[in-house]
Amino acid sequence: MKKVLLIGLYICFFTNINADSIRFTKQQMLEDFDFLYEKIRTVNPHLGVRYEVTGTDILAKIKNNRKSIDTVSSESSYYDIIAKTFLLCQDGHTNLILYYPDKYTDTSYINQAIKTSQEFKKKYFKYSPYSSLKVFYINGEYFFPDIFDNENVLQIPKKAKLLKINGIDIDEYVEKWNVPIHPSVRWDQNRKKYYTLTIFPPSITGLDEKFLITYSYGQEIKEIELTSFRIKYPQGKGSRDIRVNYFDKDKILYIRVPAMDASKIDHYKQEIEKHKGKEISKVLIDVRSNGGGNDLTWKEILASIIKDTINIPQKLCFKDSHVVKQLLDKQEIPIAENTPLIIGQDSLFCITGYREIIPSNNSILHNGNIYVIINESCYSSTLAFSSACKTVSKLITIGTPTGILGGEGIRPFYFVLPNSKLIFSIASSLDGNVQGNDVENYYHDDIEIPIYPDLDYYCTEFEYKDEFYDEYFLYNIDPVFKTILKLE
């Protein structure tokens, strides 16, 4: 049974909200904005890398947002300015959030901030994936799954290629209109351009109320106006299941890790230990579509597999500012010995060390290769795992790059806007453990064995009704698993 998401209803909901009168003075809004700008400027260590790689001056774009406060007449428009400011940062760790994990002396103050943040998000946030159009990005081009309207009438057939939106070439539309408000902006290192995996309609981007799509299908080029749209997403049966399977015919131990969930560590260890003593030619750790969590998860999984201790070099880099040093001191992270780093206009200091992963008492003592399967939907701790693999010869990444700035890091820093009491986080560290002088290496997005699935596979995966990542799927459908089978 397919789950249908009524995209058009979300758009109607957000556009029909009655705007509340603003509870803040212009001076208070400017104070909030300047507080936010200063925290991003002095804390976020990614800005210099993004500018050098993409040419985008994020701080300049944020500063340009400040003048929009002159036109604010409602809480919804004020919130939109703040939301857009975070979206310009192109990083899910620099964002408005609905909790405050740090200890704070005034509990009532934080409780009020949490309540305020939840209210604002519920009422006013309109840049949800459910308001956007799903696309497949393949070889620098965009293709559609089946696109229906709210009456369940097919509007655009699957595999149609997206050419233009409202007469604007799709690459230009993505960079100028989609990227500034998109919660998951990606960078194509090969083609030197931005891309995203969903497209917001012109009514959300602010371009126009009409939504005109030009696409090619077969030998024809067509233009259609979408007045509503919805996409039939499959349930993805089994995609979030934990699996530890041994495939006897190829002597493969397959470990499916859908999330870096530390509460599942004992389960992984127990299941892996069941295969101790078996002949194992290859170990596969499949972290596709794993959005992250706790680094301890992948470290303990490795400890249950390896024969010899792994030493992973660390080089965590931080913005060289007083506020960062204060926050690190509160977390008891020593910064007395550090290595300076200059990236563009950013000055950072770096803390070096090693992560040691020691085989557990019941490790299966595998001494061969461990293949770590990545796809474009990995994030956070999972990208730290991917980055760590590059420093260990027997940990081999295989799959599809994410287009996201990844690498190892510590958790974000957390703040509260002084007047509106909105809670937000800012990415705190940059993984400086790179080889060579190419600034693109700080993205940590290269895969040792890259696999770029074709359009047929993406459509099959998108519509798949049976069990994901079971033996049949891996051996008969999955192009990455098939590639690993052929590797010596």
For 295-316, write each residue's pLDDT tens digit. Answer: 999 999 999 999 999 999 999 9
- The pLDDT value given to residue 337: 61
Alpha-carbon span 287 to 372, nearest angstrom: 7
Would you say 353 and 300 are in contact if contact means Cβ atoms under 8 Å apart?
A: no
* For residues 466-486, average pLDDT: 97
Average pLDDT over residues 34-44: 98
Per-residue pLDDT tens over the stretch 105-163: 678 889 999 999 998 888 888 898 889 999 999 999 999 999 999 999 999 999 999 99
Distance CA 42, CA 326 (A): 12
358-416 per-position pLDDT tens digit? 999 999 999 999 999 999 999 999 999 999 999 999 999 999 999 999 999 999 999 99
Among 284, 244, 247, smallest CA distance to 472 is for 247
Angle between helices 295-303 and 381-389 (to 10 degrees): 40
Q: Residue 332: phi, psi to the nearest 5?
A: 60, 40
Q: Say how far apart CA 372 and CA 288 lie, in whole Å.
A: 9
